[in-house]
Amino acid sequence: MKAVVFDRYGPPEVLKIKEVETPEPRDNEIQVQIRASTIVVGDCEFRSFRFPWWFWVPLRLYSGVLKPKRVRVLGQDLAGIVTKLGKDVQNFSIGDQIVAAPEVQMGGHAEFACLNVEKKAVSKLPDNVRFEDASTLPTGGLNALHYIRKARIEKGDRVLIVGAAGSIGSFAVQLAKDSGALVTGVDRSDKLDMLLSIGADKVIDYEREDFTQNGTQYDVIFDAVGKSSYSKSLRSLNENGRYILANPHVSQMVRGFARSMFHKKKVFFQFASYRGTDLDELVRKCSEQRIQASIDRVFPIKEIVSAHSYVDSGDKIGHVVIRISESDFKTTGSFHRDP
Ligand SMILES: NC(=O)c1ccc[n+]([C@@H]2O[C@H](COP(=O)([O-])OP(=O)(O)OC[C@H]3O[C@@H](n4cnc5c(N)ncnc54)[C@H](OP(=O)(O)O)[C@@H]3O)[C@@H](O)[C@H]2O)c1
């Protein structure tokens, strides 16, 4: 099969389309012909290995110290068709359309992948959910669902989301709205129209306004991107407010842990574990049009270098999707912006 392989950490140009062995399913695995994947910031961070030190060391030991060894194909999200079944797989059939979160195993940027259905979140897709939309659900949706649940939102709560136009933030906005919150989205000016289009009640351009200085108190501040000031954000919360951090610094984790034990305002920063039931819930909400994928651009897989450069630029609004088919590996063409 064809796959996008990287043999050294570095800029987008390290990504090469190569012929590699097609994976065969083990007893508890399904083989999936991949139709769509995404590029999330985590893929670019992994490719260039830009991580904070406390994450860098264990991840580098896992991935390969001098060059990528265990993870050679990126792609944390995938949607496609089941093509083979391991002998112990029971709840899936050949031909099922699925979406899955391979997590740190990655492998979404290839023609095929094998997934252990007992260990990974894998959900069947109804006919009205397209592969391209479904592929945005694992990383963006599962993280957003995890943190929004921890926010314990009640109808009418004021929720502010920092990094609201990102992969995680754009689903967090919609899930918070779905819970009955009044949502303020904070992001860069050119991304704010998208936020209004997915239901944000108010938007703030972080380059023009500091949300901690406008006098508004919130029940929940969810910082998806790790850019808010810890002390000022806590001061902008109501008495029982929740400060949720998807991308915490070590100092914030230490201070947050101590604060949550002794104060009414709580700080939450635990990472998400990806569960199949949560992915099912996201697929159902997507099918019922209670949430939608905010797709900025769809790139054919052969334009993977341009796609990574685009995500690296920081200009992406919502999600960048990779379309995968045999012809996309072979023919020329350019990206299109979804209507
Ligand atoms: N498995 C994973 O991949 C995973 C899981 C959990 C957490 N994370 C981490 O969580 C973070 C968010 O992930 P994501 O995929 O949602 O990222 P993303 O798609 O890049 O979205 C981040 C958004 O935050 C905006 N932003 C940057 N600085 C800001 C500021 N000061 N105030 C408000 N908005 C700001 C960015 O816009 P501009 O850059 O244009 O300003 C961008 O729109 C990443 O750092 C990621 O590594 C990743």
CA-CA-CA-CA torsion for 213, 215, 217, 220, nearest 10 degrees?
Answer: -30
> Strand 336-337 vs strand 295-300: parallel, antiparallel, or unpaired?
antiparallel
Q: Which letter, b or e, does each residue of 208-228 get, where b requires 16 or more Cβ atoms within 10 Å of its Cβ?
A: eeebbeeeeebbbbbbbbeeb
Give the pLDDT of residue 242. Answer: 96
Q: Element (H or E) spanning 339, and its range?
A: none
Domains of the chain, earliest start first: 2-136+294-337 (3.90.180.10), 139-268 (3.40.50.720)
> What per-residue confidence (pLDDT) applies to 328?
65
All residues at 6 or more sequence positions from 65 whose CB lies less than 8 Å from its CB, including other chains: none
Dihedrals phi, psi of 254, to nearest 5 degrees: -65, -50
| Binding site membership of 41 for ligand 1 (Cβ less than 6 Å) | yes
CB 108 within 8 A of CB 129: no
The conformation of residue 160, written as its DSSP 8-state character, comes to E
Atom of ligand 1 nearest to the CA of 206: 32
- DSSP label at 20? -
Q: Chain-centre distance of CA 48, in angstroms?
A: 18
3 close to ligand 1 (CB < 6 Angstrom)? no
The rounded distance, in Å, linking the Cα atoms of 219 and 160 is 8
The span from the CA of 79 to the CA of 85, in Å, is 16
What confidence score (pLDDT) does residue 339 get?
32
Distance 169 CA to ligand 1 centre (A): 8
Tell the residue nearest (CA) to atom 36 of ligand 1.
163
> pLDDT digit of tens for each residue in the chain (339 aa)?
999 999 999 999 999 999 999 999 999 999 999 999 999 999 999 999 998 888 899 999 999 999 999 889 999 999 999 999 999 999 999 999 999 999 989 999 999 999 999 999 999 999 999 999 999 999 999 999 999 999 999 999 999 999 999 999 999 999 999 999 999 999 999 999 999 999 999 999 999 999 999 999 999 999 999 999 999 999 999 999 999 999 888 888 878 777 777 788 899 999 999 999 999 999 999 999 999 999 999 999 999 999 999 999 999 999 999 999 866 665 333 333 333
Cβ of residue 50 lying under 6 Å from some atom of ligand 1: no
Residue 128 CB neighbours (<10 A): 10
